[in-house]
Amino acid sequence: MEETAAVRPQAAAVRSTSELRKRLWRNRWIYVMLLPGILYFLIFKYIPMFGLVISFQDYKPFKGITGSEWVGFAHFERLFTHPDFWKILSNTLILFGLNLLFYFPVPIVLALMLNEVRSAFFKRLFQTLVYLPHFMSWVIIVSISYVMLTMDGGIINELLVKLGFSKINFLLSPEWFRPTYILQVIWREAGWGTIIYLAAIASIDPGLYEAARMDGAGRLRQIWHITLPAIRSVIIVLLILKIGDVLELGFEHVYLLLNSMNRSVAEIIDTYVYTTGLRQMQFSYSAAVGFFKSAVGLVLVMLANRLAKKFGEEGIY
């Protein structure tokens, strides 16, 4: 008996290796199909990730990674002791907070409202209009804003004057940077999130609403007790993704809004990376700054994911 038992695992191992080989061979064309995509991810996503080692070097392009000397955490020290570091970090975090506070609830509310519209035609119409800006580039969004907000003939300032107020310098003054920023974000992205929530709402069993009405629940209570809980998972997943996202996506947008007058509030980590890296050619230092930011973003996502799981929700992984 023991002999057979000893022989069996070996036989099983041999069988599964040869089965594996057979499967690999049978699927060989599938692997060929995967090859270009895998190459793409390796070259343009993973090699840059490994390239982050230059954060610990004094990278010189002509010396390459292997030739440049190592400086350990020098760049990170430099970052944390930089006089503007806290300002830049807080600018970034404030925009992040504004996003979560003012932008994030909007698609949810819009989806709830759209769901209550009875006419399919108007539902479609409003949806179509509201997520139109999502497909415009940030350049278009900011350009339209510029044309409307400029002190030099922009419609908003003209209206202000007509109403008896004085003109506001939306584009240059530091005080107006954040409101302008968040309004643009809402304008552009609210509609997009709405689609996703609407899809989740669409799968709710109508019987639940019927039962609630029987029990005397009005529209608002139905929303609070049926609709919202049903989309809770989607909200949480999107929230986690947003957290991972926000430290990333602001760059194109903020870069367009940034100018010498509002730099004190508009300079965020990514614009700082761009300036020091590509304008001033300080590759290692800027890579270190970018690394810091990406790492923080990842930690935030992991924390948020764990928190969500603690509350009984599915995380994103």
Residues 116 to 175: which contact another protein by CB under 8 A? 116-118, 122, 124-130, 132-133, 135-140, 142-148, 152-153, 155, 158
Shortest Å distance, C-beta 19 to another protein: 10
Number of Cβ atoms within 10 Å of the Cβ of 240: 23
Site membership for another protein, residue 209 (CB under 8 A): yes
Closest CB to another protein among residues 85, 126: 126
Q: Between 74 and 196, whose beta carbon lies closer to another protein?
A: 196
- Amino acid, single-letter form, for residue 277: G
Q: Report how far apart the first and last C-alpha atoms of the chain are (Å, whole number).
A: 44
Phi-psi region for residue 166, left (φ > 0), alpha (ψ -120 to 50) or beta?
A: beta
- Radius of gyration, alpha carbons of the chain: 27
Quick one: which of 11, 220, 303, 307 contacts another protein (CB under 8 A)? Answer: 220
The pair of three-digit structure tokens given for residue 121, joined into one six-digit string:
């035609």
Of the candidate spans 10-18, 47-55, 69-77, 172-180, the one that interacts with another protein by CB under 8 A turns out to be: 47-55
Nearest alpha carbon to residue 268 among 254, 289, 284, 253: 254
Smallest separation, CB 201 to another protein (Å): 11
- Which C-beta is closer to another protein: that of 41 or that of 224? 41
For another protein, which is the closer residue by CB, 95 or 304?
304
Q: What is the DSSP string of 212-228?
A: HHHTT--HHHHIIIIIH
Q: Residues 180-199: x/- map of binding to another protein (CB under 8 A)?
A: -------x---x---xx--x
| DSSP 8-state secondary structure symbol assigned to residue 72 | T
Distance CA 114, CA 130 (A): 11
Cα angle 198, 202, 205 (rounded to 5 degrees) comes to 145
What are the structure tokens assigned to 191, written together?
């509609």
Contacts of another protein in 75-104 (CB under 8 A): none
Counting residues that bind another protein (by CB under 8 A) gives 95
Nearer to another protein, 53 or 100 (CB): 53
Q: In the chain, how many H helices and how many E strands?
A: 18, 0
Closest distance of CB 105 from another protein, Å: 14
270-309 residues near another protein, rule: CB under 8 A: 270, 273-274, 277-278, 283, 286-287, 290-291, 293-295, 297-298, 301
C-alpha span between 94 and 91 (Å, rounded)? 5
Taking CB under 8 A as the binding criterion, the range among 5-13, 39-47, 76-84, 91-99 that sits at the site for another protein is: 39-47
